Amino acid sequence: MIMGSNIAIEKLSKDNYDSWKLQTEAIFVKNDHWNFVTGAERKQEVTGDADNATAVAKWISNDQKAKADIILSIHPSELSQIKNCRTSHELWTKLQNIYESKDQREKQRS
């Protein structure tokens, strides 16, 4: 289940990446966090200005919500692969690198 919603999706495992990805993408779009996950919404450099500090704090908060949603939607057996990722974008990219290449290898065998 993704935080703040009543939507339940099956946790990511080695066998369900394609469906997991499609469902989580939809949830991030719905919750206005997709740009954080894709890296399109980048954190501003800290300048010391009050407006800048507010924008940076808001970015961190939104990115951490997206990161938490990703982590909470992954089966515990898969978590060790992403433990060093700091942002939702790093997490998403790491998962793509792991599972999309694995899917491609398995499709080539078929």
Q: Mind listing the pLDDT tens digit for each residue in 51-78?
A: 999 999 999 999 999 999 999 999 999 9
**Global pTM value:** 0.84
Please give the Cα distance from 2 to 66 (Å, whole number).
10
Please give the Cα distance from 64 to 88 (Å, whole number).
7
Give me Rg for the CA atoms of the chain: 15
Q: Would you say 86 and 68 are in contact if contact means Cβ atoms under 8 Å apart?
A: no
Strands (E), 51-101: none
Please give the Cα distance from 23 to 21 (Å, whole number).
6
- Chain centroid to Cα 26, Å, comes to 12
**Is a pLDDT exceeding 90 seen at residue 107?**
no
Which pLDDT score is estimated for 1?
A: 46
Residue 101: pLDDT band with limits 50, 70, 90:
confident
Residue 96: pLDDT band with limits 50, 70, 90:
very high
